[in-house]
Structure 1
């Protein structure tokens, strides 16, 4: 059967999940598919494009996931006032039921990346190639714009949230790979979200790095 793009992406996904990004070379991928390396380039221009496709697959559930709406906010984040309410938002800055909540978008983005081995590195490549295209960004911009922020401010805040999330996940996945504890990762992430979004966070009880 002739090789197609889905075959290439599926095989790359398997290698990534099973062995990590370090083993995902084009030569290794070609061996997995039992083809010559040159055959891959009919379907992806280079490894960077392949990683971008994998990143899109990784975070694709965000677009349809009800978890990004504010039926329940992350436990450590509650409103501490906001510069202004907009459509879908209450006067205290929180989103109303059924509307996109930027804190939940970021939290779900984090969950999806953490579920994939070396996920932060892969998504980081895609984000570097096209910062405004990765699925979390349009969702975050929409949610933030609804609070009354200008388009430019919403975009800048969305990019800050994405980069903060990628940094948080990179640190956690690195510590996990080194066998170091990561028990503080989630509460510290939530505290960081609260700072970026201008919300009050439950104080952390521990002071470990």
Structure 2
């Protein structure tokens, strides 16, 4: 359902809100500038007033997905990883969208700050933080792809305990920060 009459002035936040709604209902493959413009009852060219291209819009959507991390009080690697995972899982195809924007250098990665703080004092804290970012993004991307395939009936519903598997992977990363223990 469109967000209002065509005569209403739209903000960048309106465009990001619409993009998140479309992402929820159609996934990343269905998130087009035309669909967003239709949702807002605008001409597609009007979106370029706020975003010079689709990638910059996707980066803004990515930042919105990651916004809860700036309020996180996580102190351990496990807590930081769970907060990051939760933010990504809140949105369909969240990991894929965030990973793409991050890989292209179009968005910040607030999870790095959380992971660096959690790994503070470790000899390779910065490397551990980047590794944790890639682990969480990869894990959630895999998780979201399997969920989508199961909804389509392409695969059976996975029977793995994803929460336990995720926590075990993060525990391995944490153990690597404390050599000799």
RMSD: 1.8
- The reply to whether residue 58 of structure 1 matches residue 65 of structure 2 is yes
TM-score by length of 1: 0.72
Q: For the residues of structure 1 that align with 2:21 and 2:159, how far apart are their CA atoms?
A: 26
Q: 1:9 to 1:167 in 2, by over 3 A?
A: same
Query: CA contact under 8 A between 1:172 and 1:182: conserved in structure 2?
Result: no
Q: Say whether the 8 Å CA contact 1:62–1:136 is kept in structure 2.
A: yes
Q: What does residue 44 of structure 1 align with?
A: 51
Map Cα deviations across residues 62-115 of structure 1 (whole Å, 9 max, x no partner). 22133x2xxxxxxxxxxxxxxxxxxxxxxxxxxxxxxx1122101111112112
> Does 1:118 find its partner at 2:125?
no
Matched with 1:22 is 29
TM-score (norm. length: structure 2): 0.82
Q: Which has the bigger relative contact order, CA under 8 A and spacing at least 6?
A: 1
| 1:78-117 aligned within 5 A | 100-117=75-92
Where in structure 2 are the equivalents of 1:1-209 lying within 5 Å? Answer: 1-66=8-73, 68=74, 100-130=75-105, 133-145=108-120, 148-150=121-123, 153-179=124-150, 180-198=157-175
Which residues of structure 2 form unaligned runs of 5+? 1-7, 151-156, 177-181
Moved more, 126-135 or 50-59: 126-135
Deviation (angstroms), 1:132: 8.5
Consecutive unaligned residues in structure 1, runs of 5 or more: 69-99, 200-209
Give every structure 1 segment of 4 or more consecutive aligned residues whose post-TM-superposition deviation is greater than 3 Å.
none
Within 1, Cα distance between the matches of 2:107 and 2:53? 21
Q: Higher helix proportion, which one?
A: 2
